Structure 1
Amino acid sequence: MTQTLDAAAAAAAGRSPSGSAFDRALDVVARRRAEFEERGHVPRDVIEEFKAAGIYRASTPRQFGGDALPPAAFLRLIERISVVDGSAGWVASFGSSLVYLAALPLRTQAELYADGPDVVFAGGLFPVQPTERVPGGHRVGGRWKFASGCKGADVFGVGIKGGQDQGGRPLTAVLRPEQVEIVENWDVIGMRGTGSHDLVVDGAVVPEGWTFVRGGEPTVDEPLYRYPTVPYAAQVLAVVGLGVARAALDHVIAQGGRVSYTGAPKPAERATYRITVGQAEAQLRSARAYFYETTEEVWATVAAGDPASPGQASSLRLASAHLAKTSFEVVRAAYQLGGIAAIADGSPMQRYLRDASVVPQHAFLQEGMYDGAGAVLMGVQPFPGYL
């Protein structure tokens, strides 16, 4: 078993092997997280540490040398990175996005992974742009938003309008870095280190074989690519909020013995502080348990060779939205327990609050997902695009 798979297996068991590449990556993130926030992105040399730890081969098909990890194993890796730094966890989470590229023709994938399975993909998929059809492909141009991790990407994806042969569904066009301009405009209060800049493409020609429908039928016959792709995309982001919430809650627990500025009893001696900590711990662990329980249930279905049902896909979306919401609520409660010291730039609490607030803002994780899940549970049609 490789060192990378050892790290993944250990993560699934809630531990980490001493001296592993994954441990080294966590150490780098811990030392340099302030740099990520200041620079507005995770630098490429840190992305190389993630590659060495197996993050960017985690969703590469086994037939092309990847690990194709079960979702729960990958999610636990992202959770642990996010405990250390939310932005690093967010960027690393897109190691899962190669599940989309499994819809490319096998010949294209063989070319994509010709230099190895550790490929970093960044996408700016919206707004979907029209293209000009040219012999054998598309002439692509336009501007796309929110390309998280784009500064360290090996390949890019942009959203383009599909034709009749795709039933009108949007396509993703895959481009090389020399075909894409990164417009650095990521100016935000939370997840500052994700470098989620705009992408601009000016008339690049993309062959038909380098386009795919996101969530489309995979050409790879392995269990990971039968797992619902769009719900998985929501999961890898929701688990970032979980990691940030765990860090925030652990911080206020550790601060229980601090001396008050005013001479008041120590936090751990106050019933209100203890009650809030206890409630937050129960809320976070409950949401986490539901999240992983649902993940394992759906994985067992697809690993057995059966397709995930619409109800199972909906459960993944519900568990993800609920985890994002609960994680933010836990961080907000922890921040309030931090008192006036929490507002200082030197306190990690203000960073936890800013980062956790971003997660439930994502379109995949907003409260509207409860509406879709409720519709499925009651046997009525959910809103368009939910399933």
Structure 2
Amino acid sequence: MSESIYDDFAIRSEKEAELAATCDRLAAVFAERAPKHDREGSFPFDNFADLREAGYLNLTVPREYGGDEASLHELVLGQERLARGDGSTALAVGWHVGIMLQLRGTRSWPEPLYADFCREVVQDGAMINSFASEPATGSPSRGGKPETTATRTDGGWLISGRKTYSTLSPILQHFTVKAGIAGEEKIGEFLVRKGPGVSIEETWDTLGMRATGSHDVILDSVFVPDEHHISGSAAFADKRPDDGGWLLHIPACYIGIAWAARDFALRYAKSYQPNSLAAPISELPHIQRQIGQIEAELITARTLLYAVADRWDESTAAGRLRLKQELGLAKYTATNAALSVVDGAMRIVGGASLSRKLPLERMYRDVRAGLHNPPMDDAVLQGLARRALEEKP
């Protein structure tokens, strides 16, 4: 990866410098593989082997179970830098490291189950994601009730249904699902281990983020033991509220893609000199204006992202809950800035940016996906409006 004015941004310690260096090294390798995985829509098992070898899967596991216990700032730092190499890989692994941070905060799993899984992550490279989206319900953030059903049986539950947008599905051996409890109005959450009754239908053939492995997962009377019924446990009843800070892995990914597009456009502008000019196009006023616009948007979005992450890290549990709107705003600002930055980079490079031989067209497609990751733009703006309207004079 090239040196950038942003390289030291947000690095405050030797630990963070080491994390950044590791992710930069991985990103350089991932960037070489990204065109092939994007073209084929294939899952990057090779990238995940490298992530495991580098210890990145342990990033947000508590120290007591052998992990690095990274802060939210450090999570954002790692994710942003991985995404410079391959957005699909960064977004996919972001769900794992993000959920491990969420679980560390909520402690919603029974402690023996949580401890065992943390050790599997550290020792065996296990990963986790939550499969909640369904064809009929759309995004779970909209509140639809799952059609997946959990039915009581001896010693546990039989779960049947179909989950969509199941990122990491080709590689996961564990995932959680939400399912309606048969005969009741309740919704349960269950930890499922891949095995009999679990199958994957390879439906993921999309415009962008083509290598996240977000296929449909089909559950056909899958047995889940009682001890894996998370929402029915005493720990779940006493869990701490989920403040949503872990979701900053999403805007971090899209800012990373935008950063890479920005760097590519700068290198191109400083080296490309058509025979109609006496100097590279970087000397042209309108190109400099476009570069300035990119800098303004990227610096603004990155500054807000890290500022919110730092406030979250420094806040009490109650204070973190009050940051909900700021967390949403950081995502809204980052994803929309990423769209604009990549568009600006393509305008600088011109028609050549459409070529599949260059990375910009893939980056352009990948950042579009940010609009459809939670929280959605309309929900963020509505939340900000409601908070403003609820202010007392």
Shared fold (TM-score, shorter chain, > 0.5): yes
Tell me, yes or no, if the aligned pair for 1:159 and 1:172 is still in contact at 8 Å.
yes
Q: 2:373 aligns with which of 359, 362, 365?
A: 362
> Does the C-alpha gap of structure 1 residues 341 and 38 become closer, same or farther in structure 2, counting only changes over 3 Å?
closer
Partner of 1:107: 112
For residue 191 of structure 2, the aligned residue among 149, 169, 174 is 174
Superposed CA RMSD in Å reads 3.1
One of 299, 316, 324 as aligned partner of 2:335: 324
> What are the equivalent positions in structure 2 for 1:190-229 lying under 5 Å apart?
190-212=208-230, 228-229=242-243
The alpha carbon displacement at 1:326 in A equals 1.3
Unaligned runs of 5+ in 1: 1-9, 381-387
Q: Aligned residues, how many? A: 361
In structure 2, what is the Cα distance between the partners aligned to 1:20 and 1:266?
A: 32
**1:275 is paired with a residue of what secondary structure?**
helix
When residues 246 and 112 of structure 1 are mapped into structure 2, their CA distance, relative to the original with a 3 A threshold, is: same
Seen in structure 2, the aligned counterparts of structure 1 residues 353 and 246 have a Cα distance that, compared at 3 Å, is same
Q: 2:355 maps to which residue?
A: 344
More displaced stretch, 205-214 vs 77-86? 205-214
Distance 1:297 1:21 in 2: 25
- Corresponding residue for residue 142 of structure 1: 161
Aligned residues of 2:162 and 2:216 also touching (Cα < 8 A): yes
CA contact 2:128–2:172 (8 Å) conserved in 1: yes
Tell me the CA shift for residue 345 of structure 1: 0.9
Letter in 1 for 2:98: S
TM-score (normalised: structure 2): 0.82
Q: Distance in 2 between matches of 1:230 and 1:162?
A: 25
Which string of whole-angstrom CA distances, capped at 9 and with x for unpartnered residues, describes residues 335-373 of structure 1? 122211111111111111011111122242434312112
**Is the Cα contact below 8 Å between 1:311 and 1:377 reproduced in 2?**
no
* Corresponding position of 1:314: 325
Residue 266 of structure 1 is matched in structure 2 by: 280
**1:255 and 2:272 correspond:** no
Query: Paired residue for 1:3?
Result: none
After superposition, the C-alpha distances for 1:77-96 in whole angstroms (9 at most, x for unaligned) are 01000011111111221222
Amino acid at match of 2:333: H
Counterpart of 1:138 in 2: which secondary structure? strand
Q: Structure 1's 324 and 185: CA in aligned 2 closer, same or farther, altered over 3 A?
A: same
For 2:188 and 2:276, the matched residues in 1 are separated by 62
The 8 Å contact of residues 44 and 89 in structure 2, kept in 1 or not, is answered as no
CA contact (8 A) 2:72 2:309 kept: yes
Cα distance in 2 between the residues matched to 1:337 and 1:228: 42
Residue 361 of structure 2 aligns with an amino acid whose one-letter code is Q
The separation in 2 between residues aligned to 1:162 and 1:322, in whole angstroms, is 38
Which residue of structure 1 aligns with residue 84 of structure 2? 83
Q: Which residue of 2 aligns with 1:124?
A: 131
Distance 1:347 1:13 in 2: 35
1:100: how far off? Answer: 4.5
- Call closer, same or farther: CA 1:19–1:345 in 2, change over 3 Å: closer
For residues 256 and 32 of structure 1, what CA distance do their matches in structure 2 show?
Answer: 25
Tell me which of 97, 100, 108 is aligned to 1:98. Answer: 100
How far residue 42 of structure 1 moved from its aligned partner, in angstroms, is 3.7
More off after superposition, 357-366 vs 272-281: 357-366
| 1:172 Cα deviation from its structure 2 partner | 3.0
TM-fit CA distance, 1:19: 11
Aligned AA (1:107)? P
Work out whether 1:157 is the aligned partner of 2:176. yes
Q: 1:182-219, CA deviations, whole angstroms, 9 ceiling, x for partnerless residues?
A: 111111111111111110111012123313359x9779
TM-score (norm 1): 0.83
CA contact (8 A) 1:344 1:350 kept: yes
Identity rate of aligned residues, in percent? 21
1:164 to partner: Cα distance: 11
Amino acid in the other structure paired with 2:132: L
Distance 1:164 1:69 in 2: 42
User: Which residue of 242, 245, 252 corresponds with 1:239?
Assistant: 252
Q: Residues of 2 paired with 1:278 and 1:193: CA distance?
A: 32
Contact conserved, 2:190 with 2:231, CA < 8 A, in 1?
A: no
Q: Which amino acid aligns with 1:96?
A: G
Matched, 1:334 2:345: yes
Structure 1 distance, partners of 2:19, 2:52, is 18
Cα offsets for 1:153-191 (capped at 9, x unmatched): 2312222125899x94x4332211224211111111111
Alpha-carbon deviation of 1:23? 5.1
Which letter does structure 1 place at the counterpart of 2:298?
L
